[in-house]
Amino acid sequence: MGCVWFVGAGPGDPDLITVKGRRLIEQAGAILYAGSLVDVAATRYAPPGCRLQDSKSMTLDQIGDWLIREAGRCETVVRLQTGDPGLYGALAEMTRRLDAAGMTWRSVPGVTSAMAAAAAAGESLTLPDVTQTVILTRVAGRTPMPPGENLESLAAHGATLCIYLSATLLPEVERALRAAGWPADAPMLVVQKASWPDAERIVRGRLDEIDRLCHESGIDSQAMIVASPALGARGWADLSPSKLYDPAFGHRFRAASTPENPHE
């Protein structure tokens, strides 16, 4: 029996897949890819004769059956998923079936869209004296949120929020953040298809206008919503510098300097 590899394809740009992920695709005998989310170009590294299957119309049982069947004839089977397999990737549901069948499987991490969105917009998700915490979450829809994880409760921390799977729920995002104390003019960032060649779109605006701006831009799917007190920091007049690069902050690679001894 072969090994089933759950590979994170990253946010969309096929060049953002990891070197290990690309190597596995290059040697795969069969690849099951999420065609509704992963650019087909991510499979361009597949070798001749590799069986390619789009999973967008398949159920969980059909996916499990396909992976088990292909692992019976191939040494390397790849389940190619958007972003990172461990984040909203149904990894536990799929691997339970493989565990029950005695299959060997491994997971290869990938770049998630929160990081790709920040990179596309030239933003940092953390900033000294502003926020040192990033919360990856979503708004309740057809899949409810567990107790204590509603967006209003999480927003009350005032930290950076990276909100997945919620592009059609921006009015609810605004309601939750305002209820948590965020001001109407809080900066917001929405990036659709971050890193996708010729498809990426970036929208910036205030909390009280971001839904309208996204509607006018036609953004209603595959978008990352970022709410953060650190947005736009590179344009601020003053920033608190990181202690790591502060000359007065010593560590094992560099001695601290003082005005009296600037070259210590």
Which of these CATH numbers, 3.10.110.10, 3.30.950.10, 3.40.50.620, 3.20.80.10, describes 113-233? 3.30.950.10
Domain ranges of the chain: 3-108, 113-233
Q: At what angle do helices 170-179 and 210-217 cross, to 10 degrees?
A: 170
Q: Tell me the whole-structure pTM to 2 decimals.
A: 0.90
At residue 23, φ and ψ (nearest 5 deg) are -60, -40
- Helical residues (DSSP H) of the chain, grouped into ranges: 19-26, 60-71, 91-100, 113-121, 151-155, 170-179, 210-217
* 1 — pLDDT class (breaks 50, 70, 90): confident
Question: Among 171, 125, 180, which Cα is nearest to 151's?
Answer: 180
Token reading at 191? 């990036």
Evaluate if residue 51 carries a pLDDT over 60: yes
For residue 25, pLDDT beyond 80: yes
What CATH architecture applies to the domain 3-108? 3-Layer(aba) Sandwich (3.40)
The 10s digit of each residue's pLDDT in 122-147 is 999 999 999 999 999 999 988 889 99
The amino acid that residue 224 corresponds to is M
| Mean pLDDT value across residues 103-114 | 97
Who has greater pLDDT, 259 or 8? 8
Q: Is the pLDDT of residue 242 over 80?
A: no
- Report residue 263's pLDDT band, with 50, 70 and 90 as the boundaries: low
